[in-house]
Structure 1
Amino acid sequence: MKTKRIAALALAAALLLSCPGFTALASDGDFVIENGTLVSYHGPGGAVTIPAGVTAIGDEAFEYTEITSVNFPNSLTTIGWGAFMYCSGLTSVSIPNSVTSIGESAFEGCDNLQSVKLPVGLTVISKSLFFDCVKLTSVNIPSNVTEIGMCAFAHCFNLKSVALPEGLSFVGDDAFCETAIPEPIYILEGSVLCFVPASYTEFVIPETVNQVGGGAFDSCWGLKSVIIPDSVTSIGNFAFYGCVHLSSVHLPDSVVFIGYYAFYGCRSLSSINIPSGNIEIGMTAFSKTNINEPIISNDNSVLYYIPDSYHTFTVPDGIKKINGGAFDGCSELTSVTIPESVTSIGEYAFTDCVSLTSVKIPQGVTLINEGLFSYCINLKSITLPEGITSIGSFSFYQCIRLSSVSIPESVVSIGDLAFTECASLTAITIPENVASVGDSAFQDTGITSLYVTGSKTEFNQYAFDNCGVTIYAPEGSTAQVYARENGITFVATIASAVPNASAVYVNGKLISVEAYTIGGYNYFKLRDIAMALRGTEKQFEVGWNLENDAIGLRSNASYTPVGGELAVSGSEASITANLSAAKVYLDGAEVKLTAYIISGYNYFKLRDLGSALNFAVTWDGASYAVRIDTSAGYTG
């Protein structure tokens, strides 16, 4: 919600006074008005008169304020989204006929609103416009209205009377859900059934109806039976949502569409037939029912539903698509086998499968859809095939035990909140082809190491919020810019190494070493330092740790030369340095040291070696020299 400080009001008032038709009132200081739009209100509440000349009320301008009444000017044409949301003091509203547009949720949650007068020029009743206005008892819809949006009057528990215009051609899902309207609502000459009161226990849909609207029977808790005639071709979203006593339904072959959540939560529904023709079924259409057999399309190509009683399931070979929400809430499912015939898995297909531990996605699948494995809290591993191009929003949301995931090279985008709250995920590699990483994609994960192989990946500001991450990416990449702008530690994976001419002394003796500056730090060849410290208190051996497949260091051991130590090329040209992926073990324990490979050799940050092996490293600015003292410990 936009807010402005009171200090800016003097300028705003001056601008408004210069506008034709604007009349200043005593209460003008309560408003922030910009170019005729009332942006926000900062007054004490009570009765409010909006200044003349205001043409629009901005989004959320009065949200949660303590106003008790509002007087609108005739200059007003637009009321924005959520403008008066949760203004509990409002009891009545009269909107002038100058208004032609009222945004979504404009009066949502005004729980004391009892009456409303809508403008005659209004053509659309927006989504959730009067949602949760629990004391609203009646409303007259203007004759020009052709559309009523989703949930427009939902949860208006005392709404008993609504006058609908003849020209009304569309009513959105759940527009009148949980109201007290006593009779069914039909539009378009009875061809669309929009609402059935919750009092019905049996209902015969008239043969004039060809469409059961979205949410038409939503929350008809007492409904036990319904007869659907052959005239019906479409059953909308949420049509029978929550009809907990509905025990059986026969769908005529005329039905070609069943919307999402159509029969969700019909806990007594134990059987349903699938019409014989080609049919489209929305996600989660049959979840939380008592149907105890899988539902598969008549041509055996689409898996629509799996009962939540299954512990394991093998998707039949030949299935091409797993419908959205097919396994939704299968809380006892521990494993699922998906055949290579499957090429599409819908949104939220496995959401809330809390016992599922691992999944292998077939090679033909190219999209990890929105919410696919969200809330799978025991999912530990996932195999994603090459060919996946997108990882959708919420796809692994709250998979708290997912400890590793390999993102295929083919992926080009990672959606908002894709891995949010995957607390066991500690490292991730973003392939070169990924163009964008969405809002909060890895927020609140355990990721401490982010590896970015490409130079042009764009990150949302909050992609790694609350992670404590270090980013490893090429020097000059967009990832480096992202790290700098967000205060994130950055380590270049591909960097320019500049020869360093600083003198180096070990216990006062000048030595010759090949050194480079990378990102402002001095890096030295590991074997040069081992050779230089040979015979001192801090000597160490360098070898290869076969057990851990890593560089092995052993303290207090004499270094064994391999040839080429302490040799200087004398070149002054910069050279490419690549971040080393090799782990380092000191006396058998892993130590975290940053190293680069330059011309086939490992170069380490001198101060990191000093810290690990406990020898002093100082900079002598007067002589432009690095001094190593093995008789002293490392002090930073």
Structure 2
Amino acid sequence: MKTTCRPAGIHRPKTPAMQWTTVRILRRLHLLLLAIPLAAQAQFDYTTNNDTITITGYNCTEGPATIPSTIDGLPVTTIGGGTFSGCSGLTSVTIPNSVTSLGAEAFGSCTGLTSVTIGTSVKTLGAHAFADCTGLASITIPDSVTDIGAWAFARCSGLTGVTIPRNVTTIGEQAFFHCTGLGAIEVDALNSHFGSLNGVLFDKNLATLIQYLPGRTGGYTIPDGVSTIGDWAFRDCINLASVAIPNSVTNIGKGAFVGCKNLPSVVAPDGVTSIGTFAFQGCGSLGSVTLGNSVTTIGRGAFEGCVSLTNLNIPNSTANIGSSAFAGCRNLTGVNIPDKVTSIEERTFAACASLTNAMIGNSVTNIGDWAFAYCSHLAGVTIPKSVIRIGANAFYGSSLSSVTIPDGVTAIGNEAFYGSASLMAVYFMGNAPSEFGRDVFGDSPETILYYLPGTTGWDSIFVNVQTVLWLPRVQSDDPSFGVRENQFGFNINWASERVVVVEACPDLATPVWTPVGTNILNGGTSYFSDPQWADYPARFYRLRSP
């Protein structure tokens, strides 16, 4: 056999035909290589800024997407807001190392997205960046990330676990809201801002509970030393069956337990001073609430819609109750508002249909608009002397049969008692209010307004409402009327704290009236008795104010 060896570096000369073929192959290969990035780039819309590229749009083809690291020779650094939003057919995405920021809703509602590779230069995951990616079961957040935006992974129902890397300094509000499958949030041990205990997210010092796990079932005991239950920490944890709050907790944050619809009871220990806005809103099974003796603030809507709540003791330490705080608690039967409270805000007890009685503290100056509206069984309310204003629709649709308006009230809003069909008598302790709204008593034609002697303003302020001078009255129809212990007596009914002089005479034909008693009507009533009644063949009595 003959073997030919060709020395290295020595090539056989090409014929002209071979050279032409080689040129054509190289040209086609060059065009093919050019076509690949051009085709990929054609899937994206982008803008140029300071020699960098921001991807602003995607044509939402089905299947995987690979974001190029350069376009037109410039680095791709940003995935703009909403770029892939709603691309339900997107199954996976690879983000290159050139990218530093993912904008708001960058991949929002990509429901078919199951795999994400995030480049090692990304620092920011924008608000709602992966919200509603329901098919996303896991994601690796690189160490480069410093900021996780609000709602970044909200409603990612398939997400079962996530690890917060070492350099994250900010986690936005409700970043993992309604991740119903989330069973653990771990934190890199080198992270200086956040920590994790048994899969629950805390700040580094374990003083603030930031995010509980919507995917967990059963009860949870908050560790001793925690001082704050963070905003929205347990939101929509529908499988939370119980929670134990330690004495170290001072603040229950905004929306902390909102939507925990299977939570049956809660005890806020004496250390708690503040219950945040919407803290227990919509906890439909919450039938028992115990508030410690240090609570000063109950936030707006804090217990709104807690339809199973029947009784609640608001501690005397409470000074502020927010609007709609107990609105829609349709089984709440009674409420006692402490003396430190100065204002009942709008809709505070609206639609508490089972509420029968309300005791209002002696520092309240304002009863806000709709405060007790649609409390259809409210039959008794004590309005203290401190009240200046009764707001529009404040007692709309109540079952009040009578009500006393203190002399300090200067304003009553539109339709304040409208729809209170049982309201027969309204007793005014002072002058007619200077501000009297439209249809205050509305469709209650039998309502009579009683005013005291010496008060003013009753001639011109009311339209289609009957006003009657309010005078002291002997209660001849109750058991007190008659002889008791050899003395004739009766109850006197009139305005609270007023003084009534009882006069008597033996003969109405030639009357000579003699004072026989002076009564102070504490609480609007007082009992009079005459030990000398038997000394006369007849004895007549009359009442007057001094």
Query: With structure 2 as the length reference, what TM-score do the two structures score?
Result: 0.57
User: Which letter does structure 2 place at the counterpart of 1:301?
Assistant: S
Please show how residues 30-429 of structure 1 align to structure 2 within 5 Å: 178=86, 190-194=100-104, 195-196=106-107, 197-273=110-186, 277-278=192-193, 286=212, 288-290=214-216, 294=220, 300-304=226-230, 305=233, 308-429=238-359
Does the 8 A contact of 1:327 with 1:349 survive in 2?
A: yes
Q: Deviations over 1:150-182 (max 9, x none)?
A: xxx9xx9x9xxxxxxx9x99988x898546696
Please show how residues 417-566 of structure 1 align to structure 2 within 5 Å: 417-446=347-376, 447-469=378-400, 470-475=402-407, 477-478=409-410, 491-492=426-427, 494-495=429-430, 497-498=452-453, 520-526=468-474, 530=476, 542-543=479-480, 562=487
Seen in structure 2, the aligned counterparts of structure 1 residues 475 and 320 have a Cα distance that, compared at 3 Å, is: closer
User: Which letter does structure 2 place at the counterpart of 1:492?
Assistant: Y
Seen in structure 2, the aligned counterparts of structure 1 residues 420 and 603 have a Cα distance that, compared at 3 Å, is: closer
Residue aligning to 1:577: 495
Cα distance, 1:440 vs structure 2: 3.0
Q: Which moved more, 1:478-487 or 1:335-344?
A: 478-487
Distance 2:281 2:524 in 1: 47
Distance 1:291 1:253 in 2: 29
Residue aligning to 2:438: none
Q: Deviations over 1:549-588 (max 9, x none)?
A: xxxx7xxx76666367799xxxxxxxx93179xxxxxxxx
Distance 1:416 1:170 in 2: 44
Distance 2:170 2:386 in 1: 46
Q: What percent of counterpart residues are identical?
A: 28
Residue aligning to 1:61: none
Cα distance, 1:140 vs structure 2: 10
Bigger Rg, which one: 2
- SS of residue matched to 2:351: coil
Q: Deviations over 1:210-235 (max 9, x none)?
A: 33222111110110111122333332
Distance 2:94 2:327 in 1: 40
- SS of residue matched to 2:496: strand
- SS of residue matched to 2:453: strand
Does the 8 A contact of 2:496 with 2:523 survive in 1?
A: no
Cα distance, 1:424 vs structure 2: 0.6
Distance 1:283 1:317 in 2: 14
Does the 8 A contact of 1:380 with 1:402 survive in 2?
A: yes
Distance 1:373 1:463 in 2: 19
Cα distance, 1:380 vs structure 2: 0.9
Seen in structure 2, the aligned counterparts of structure 1 residues 317 and 476 have a Cα distance that, compared at 3 Å, is: closer
Cα distance, 1:269 vs structure 2: 1.3
Cα distance, 1:408 vs structure 2: 1.4
Cα distance, 1:360 vs structure 2: 2.0
Cα distance, 1:331 vs structure 2: 3.3
Seen in structure 2, the aligned counterparts of structure 1 residues 140 and 598 have a Cα distance that, compared at 3 Å, is: farther
Q: Deviations over 1:504-532 (max 9, x none)?
A: xxxxxxxxxxxxxxx72454453xx64xx
Distance 2:131 2:349 in 1: 33
Distance 1:171 1:471 in 2: 62
> How many residue pairs are counted as aligned between the two chains?
385
Q: CA RMSD in A?
A: 4.9
User: Which letter does structure 1 place at the counterpart of 2:407?
Assistant: E
Q: Which moved more, 1:376-385 or 1:298-307?
A: 298-307
Q: Which runs of 5+ in 1 are unaligned?
A: 1-137, 144-152, 159-165, 500-518, 531-539, 544-552, 568-575, 581-596, 605-624, 627-636
Query: With structure 1 as the length reference, what TM-score do the two structures score?
Result: 0.50
Does the 8 A contact of 2:284 with 2:308 survive in 1?
A: yes
Distance 2:364 2:86 in 1: 46
Distance 2:111 2:522 in 1: 77
Q: Which moved more, 1:472-481 or 1:288-297?
A: 288-297
Does the 8 A contact of 1:215 with 1:241 survive in 2?
A: yes
Does the 8 A contact of 1:264 with 1:286 survive in 2?
A: no
Cα distance, 1:299 vs structure 2: 5.4
Q: Which runs of 5+ in 2 are unaligned?
A: 1-43, 50-56, 63-74, 195-201, 431-450, 455-466, 499-517, 526-541
Distance 1:298 1:191 in 2: 38
Residue aligning to 1:83: none
User: Which letter does structure 2 place at the counterpart of 1:191?
Assistant: S
Distance 1:432 1:179 in 2: 60
Does the 8 A contact of 1:330 with 1:352 survive in 2?
A: yes
Distance 1:375 1:295 in 2: 25
Cα distance, 1:378 vs structure 2: 1.0
Distance 1:414 1:211 in 2: 43
Cα distance, 1:376 vs structure 2: 1.5
Seen in structure 2, the aligned counterparts of structure 1 residues 331 and 449 have a Cα distance that, compared at 3 Å, is: same
Seen in structure 2, the aligned counterparts of structure 1 residues 262 and 566 have a Cα distance that, compared at 3 Å, is: closer
User: Which letter does structure 2 place at the counterpart of 1:599?
Assistant: I
Distance 1:399 1:412 in 2: 22
Cα distance, 1:246 vs structure 2: 0.8
Does the 8 A contact of 2:395 with 2:417 survive in 1?
A: no
Distance 1:180 1:456 in 2: 58
Q: Deviations over 1:302-342 (max 9, x none)?
A: 33556544544331221222333333333333222222122
Distance 1:491 1:230 in 2: 70
